[in-house]
Amino acid sequence: MSAPSSKIPYLLLAVAAVALDQISKLAVLATFRDYERVNIIPSFFDLTLVYNPGAAFSFLADQGGWQKYFFLGLAVVISVYLWRSIARGDFARWGKIGAAMIIGGAIGNVIDRLAYGHVVDFLLFYWQDWYYPAFNIADSFICVGAVLLVIDGFTHKKDAQAKKAV
């Protein structure tokens, strides 16, 4: 296990992700009516207020409510696992950053599910007739964090193989 002080930057990153996510959602909830859209960049980006009872891309959104508890539990289990991995030193630096970002994003969406029963989404990117599903700051942290974990997996694996070969 690494020293507690070495985990503080990752804890702060996760807390910052939750704070940015929740502040942005509260601002949108206070400003927008349900499903209202405001164009920010013509033919490319709008702010909107939509709700997602499911997961990414509205996966399981139409399942009647049980999915809320499933995604709550899944987010908690994944967050605990990732935090434990940070604490044990299972990841190199980029992996720890990625894991902290995923934890912060997951907790941001857990707060939504507990407070509202669904996740609040508001970032909408599109081009002509193509629309990327609306998402939020927490989702962004989760995606970037996942990419960093993959990068860490490849680079960490190469480091381990290089040490093993010596």
Q: Which domain holds residue 31?
A: 4-165
pLDDT of 144 strictly over 80: yes
Torsion of CA 76, 78, 79, 80, to 10 degrees: 80
pLDDT of res. 71: 74
What is the number of domains present in the chain?
Answer: 1
- Residues annotated as catalytic are 121, 139
93-126 tens-digit pLDDT: 999 999 999 999 999 999 999 999 889 999 999 9
Q: Looking at residues 34-60, what average pLDDT do you find?
A: 84
pLDDT band at residue 73 under the 50/70/90 scheme: confident
The more confident residue out of 73 and 28 is 28
- Beta-bridge partners for 51: 120
pLDDT of res. 157: 66
Its pTM stands at 0.85
Q: Looking at residues 81-91, what average pLDDT do you find?
A: 94
Q: Output the CA–CA distances (angstroms, integers) from residue 34 to 76, 98, 131, 158, in the order listed.
A: 28, 32, 18, 48
